[in-house]
Amino acid sequence: MNICPITYLPSGEDKYTLMGLKKLSPRLTHLQDLPFTTEELLREAIERAVKMSIQGVQPKLSAVLNVAKGRFDLVDMGGRFILKPQTHYPEVPQNEDLTMRLAALAGIETPLHGMVYTRDGQLCYFVHRFDREGIKGRLPQEDFAQLAGKERETKYDFSMEKLAGILDNYCTFPAREKAELFKRTLFCYLTGNEDMHLKNFSLLTRKNITSLTPAYDLLNSTIVLARPTEELALPLNGKKTRLKRSDLVDYYGLQRLKLPQTAVEKVLADLASKLPQWESLIEGSFLSEERQEKYIRLLTARRSLLEL
């Protein structure tokens, strides 16, 4: 019995469920494997990097969905999907896809995403670009590094406290976005994401409203790294490790973001209510049993520290 890497549901003799295919397109009836091995995809990413409009440390490829032929086609420009193949770090596509699903369960907006098989039977993560609209339309988007006047090399030279200032300066409804930032901060802490630097936060303008983009690049980096040393990419209350509930909730949520007590309690209650579903999703994910156990152990420890 196969499991669909788009829906995590049994797919019988097929690789994908019909539900998974319809998520990509109502007209899609089948999906071919990517016609590349993982090694070939990594080479393609390097060769196309100069031409492509997407950047970052992790190898990425731009693609369009060819519905008529039931496949993803690589393109240099105008792609509607981003593909992220497996790297030398273990199980990264499985990790990112799972963590994005956990975020969606927590009520965090995420774009369409899933995994597709490569020619050598490996999994490659895909995510739909949320800054594209219509055939050629593009929505205004800026990451926090751009808004803070930072370069890629200085994307860690900031603090969690200063993120609130960016929301105040640019968002249409900053109070609402601060509550969302608080939820995403706690989510990243719970799920071991220690690499949420300035370029992993962005603002998007839709229908004349500027707000946080759907979440992206969510990954449990703590279980990927051999010797993780931090808990957050940007310092909070002057530190990146040994964070406590008093730092994340009392100091950040109440004092620095100035959220009402009721708003803070709602975020905490929402996250706590989803934890049993998170564990079930982790256990049914494409991660190996070893990394499933590591993920759940970390989640249990962080949950205890936050008193959820």
pLDDT at 77: 86
pLDDT at 48: 80
Residue 151 to residue 156: CA distance in whole angstroms: 10
Residue 189 to residue 160: CA distance in whole angstroms: 13
Residues 177, 53, 37, 116: is their CA dihedral positive or negative? positive
Q: Which residues pair with 62 in a beta bridge?
A: 75, 82
pLDDT at 37: 96
Residue numbers of the chain with a pLDDT score lower than 50:
52-54
pLDDT at 57: 57
The pTM score is 0.95
pLDDT at 258: 97
pLDDT at 158: 96
Locate all alpha helices (DSSP H) within 16-113, ordered by sequence. 18-24, 38-48, 92-105
pLDDT at 54: 46
